[in-house]
Structure 1
Amino acid sequence: MPTQIDYYQLLEVSRTASGEEIKRSFRRLALRYHPDRNPDDPEAELRFKEINAAYEVLKDPQKRAAYDRYGASAFQNGGVGAGSGFGGFGGGGFGGGFNANDLGDLFEQMFGNARQERRRSGGQDIQTQVEITLAEAFTGVKKEVTIETRKPCETCHGSGSSDPKGGRSVCPTCRGRGAVRAQQGFFLVERPCPTCHGEGETVSHPCESCRGSGTEPTFENVTVEIPAGVEDGTRLRLHGKGAAGPGKQEAGDLYVLVTVEPSDLFQREGATLYCRIPLRMTQAALGAEIEVPVIDGTKTRLKIPAGTQSGQSFRLKGKGFSVVHARARGDMHVQVSVETPTRLGKRQRELLEEFEKEGGDHAESSPQNSGFFSRVREFFDGQG
């Protein structure tokens, strides 16, 4: 089977996917790569055409069977599919004509919603980023960010016109629709009107200050309320805090990307926290009670039983991370690491040597060590 084109990979489905799974994946990818959503990306346009070609084959049981048996060559230049009425990339286009019904509701969703959105909000969305500590993510915090945005023009009060009465008229290019349609290859695509930029109206006498846009650039301080339990990479939306729209149209939205800085003490996985704590050799051997830091700024005591091994983990219930919009908390897992002393005094060395002479490596006191070397001896005895 030829490997240069894999329709299943193009549609991001397995070769055993059902027809409904293929259709759902096609609709998702078509929305992502449609030329109207990627006007300056030729690769997206090419991917869009490839996706449609792949779907045209895989949605039809007969074409799919031919593809599974012969590959893409079945639909190119006289291949098995071409001779049997199957279409593809070659010659006859996308399977003898693309079925617009498969994308009718999808296009309506894209273009219809886009036109409604343009009338609802003429302002642009803005994105910014804010960094917080893990402790701030636990408690929640308010952060002030400075954004570069646009506000209504002070000269024309947002109308965009030097005429006090407004001076706005229906756009002659799109006739008020805010969008124009054009043939692009095999498809009819819809783009924002180049004359009115999607507004559906034009200004007869543009304001000299804002040149008819109705807005002017400015910097603004915005307070962002970050909820407790927020995770790294969360994007918060502040409705109406984006750039102002022309005329009386409402402003866009502000999107805040939250970045949580790594902690020196804790690692987080959802609502679960992990903390690694070093233990002295004597603490692990004899047992001890130690203080453990908690993310809420307090401390808790943890009892270490005698004979604790390095890497052993203890769970502290309800000492983990907060959950967004909930009062619950996760757990914290404390993993101990037994630390071997590196700088021994004379007396310390004498005591350890005495401990070794007294049988410090016996099976009763060091079961893992004794067990391992017992297996080593058995291995070599078996080899002999």
Structure 2
Amino acid sequence: MFFGGDPFEHFGHHGSRGGGGGGRRAAASSVDTTKLYETLGVEKTADEKEIKKAYRKLAVKHHPDKGGDEHLFKEINAAYEILSDPEKRAKYDKYGLEGLEEGAGGAGSAEDLFSMFFGGGARRSAGPRRGEDINHPLKVSLEDLYNGKTVKLAVSRQVIVGESKMCTGCDGQGVVVELRQIALGMVQQIQRRCPECGGEGYQCQRRREREVLEVLVEKGMKNNQKIVFRGKADEKPNVEPGNINFIVQEKEHALFKRKGADLLITKTLSLNEALCGFEWKITHLDNREIIIKSRPGEVIKAEASDRRPFVKVVTGEGMPSLGNPFVKGDLYVLFTVEFPDDGDLKDDQVEALKKILPGAAMSMEYDPETAEIAHLDHADVKNFGKGGVSNQSSNYDSDDEEGGPQQVQCNQS
């Protein structure tokens, strides 16, 4: 991602673009092949992981959205784009920045390098550096994200046949300017897309090409994550092809809910199971059968002490971690306890439970002739505060209320 401008202007290679406008490339012994490594703060011997780690750290630190220096951020991105590509890195190590556009040992101007990165060179900012990406949704099940999967998908794109030529109608600008007289002495200038090249600045022949891509869904991938095929989008003249991105779309699962690397299932227990123990079988995402069983004496409560749902966890039975599938998250079980309905328990069962369960209600002494006995009815907490006399106005409103009784005056003659 770039924000315009020249991210290489401090990399020490401008001498080849001096007043002559297109000087030959310097000898390999005099070119700078270390500046990109210094920008990322790594040694020339750094491997791919070290370069990626250094880039991520610097990109977060210097991102303009977080108050970082925009120019330095552009240099960091430009350096990483080259050093993360083995082919480009090899050319840079041997020929410097100017060797990236040409083959080994070739010669040419630094304008070619900037044309590759910015779609027109350091002195020409028209047009994108790289073509637009194409995004395709890829719907996958939670089982696929747990076990991994390879999907073969056919894509169709436009490719350029032969060489492209600069459009003579717009001189490669992509737009033409027309002057239109709208009144005496008044001329209107109109800029519109060049009809000969369609605004691309170059003309070429194209054909449709069909290709089958093997899309690897890795274990532990997340929803909306991208699987990128670089340079597989439509080809356009003088522009690097964009990428084809497959966007992972996780399907909803009937049993499991996912958050990060953890999984969640819900289980309703009877009061008997909650107090006396339970066991039930689930089929995991890799078709393993797992028996979830309570320990002797373990009690499942209707809710936790902080009034939140009561939850237990099976350690290590969650989703595999992306990049290291041997490290897994946890499987959380959210419990609800189903109590018996009114009338489900017989008198003899109630008496038996009173003897078995701790905390039985103590009998109270009272005079049934003087004490009032109240039984409970079903209620809704939403109605709390709505009881009593209605708030409708009556003939007995107080005089100090607005709009109260009218004053009566006596006329004396």
TM-score by length of 2: 0.45
- Bigger proportion of residues as helix: 1
Q: Which one scores higher on RCO, CA 8 angstroms, separation ≥ 6?
A: 1
User: Which protein shows a greater Rg?
Assistant: 2
